[in-house]
Amino acid sequence: MARGFIDCHCHISASEFTTDTDDVLLRAKKTGLKALVAVTEGASEFEKVIQLSKIYPGFVFPCFGIHPLQGSGQDLHSVKVQDLEPFLHLFQTYKDNIVAIGEIGLDFTPWYASTTQERDEQMKVFTKQLEISKELDLPVNVHSRSSAKVTIATMKELGIRQALLHNFAGKPSVAMEGVQAGFYFSFPPAVSKNEQRANLIRQIPLEHVCLETDSPALGLDKHVRNEPSNIAISSEYIAKVKGVSSDVVMEVTTQNALRLFSKLKV
């Protein structure tokens, strides 16, 4: 396999990339990116992410998932079952095209999910998509803000074996429960400004770490669009925290990604 990075979690179908996708992906390839795992947040992106995977075959690998928060800006709200149900057939239709179910998960941030009812609805949507992943034998690409413990516990209860917890910010003890279950953890460039996260990265074995950009979000500067080409920033930071070379991080995280996303061919 050629040397290079794999971006295990990015939003290449986001509107921020609509006008210059070609340039963005060219820059990414020049910095050594070999593949990117393209997650969705809502069903409106499903067709777009499939299209992108056809335009950039062997480089953009699509996922389908309904995120625990829907809408945008002022209208951001907790997901409801009806955000998922009308689109369930698409998971079946495109099961041969997608490499994972994601971005799915839980987000119990108080101002988005303040009621038990909202959290219950999120749990229903999450659980249903975990069941789909088992049915289709696909890994999951997971969001777990303010809900790390319950997210990992839910996946373990359902017997999920192949999972990536993206931009994980839970306690190291909770991360270790995920490590024991065989899960992987990925970190975007933004974590290089967070000392608390360094402590977490130090404790998670490199054999359970993947790289991500989460672009267009979570770059070094929150006012600047993040791109997949910034994947090296994540690699260099993890290398620094763990006291190993960037090359070692690139090699191990790429092998981890290929193990986790078994349909990736790079």
Cα of 64 vs its chain's centroid, Å: 11
Structure tokens at 10: 């990015």
Quick: pLDDT tens for 102-147: 999 999 999 999 999 999 999 999 999 999 999 999 999 999 999 9
pLDDT at residue 195, rounded to an integer:
82
- Beta-carbon neighbour count of residue 265 at 10 Å? 12
What sign for the dihedral angle of Cα 127, 87, 24, 27? positive
pLDDT at residue 232, rounded to an integer:
96
pLDDT at residue 193, rounded to an integer:
86
**Could you tell me which residues come within 8 angstroms of residue 119 by beta carbon, excluding any fewer than 6 positions away?**
78, 106, 108, 113
Question: Residues in the chain with pLDDT < 50?
Answer: 1
pLDDT at residue 241, rounded to an integer:
97
pLDDT at residue 222, rounded to an integer:
86
CA angle 222, 228, 230 (to 5 degrees): 65
pLDDT at residue 1, rounded to an integer:
45
Buried b (16+ CB within 10 A) or exposed e, 170-205: beeebbebbbeeebbbbbbbbbbeeeebbebbeebe
Question: Domains along the chain?
Answer: 5-260 (3.20.20.140)
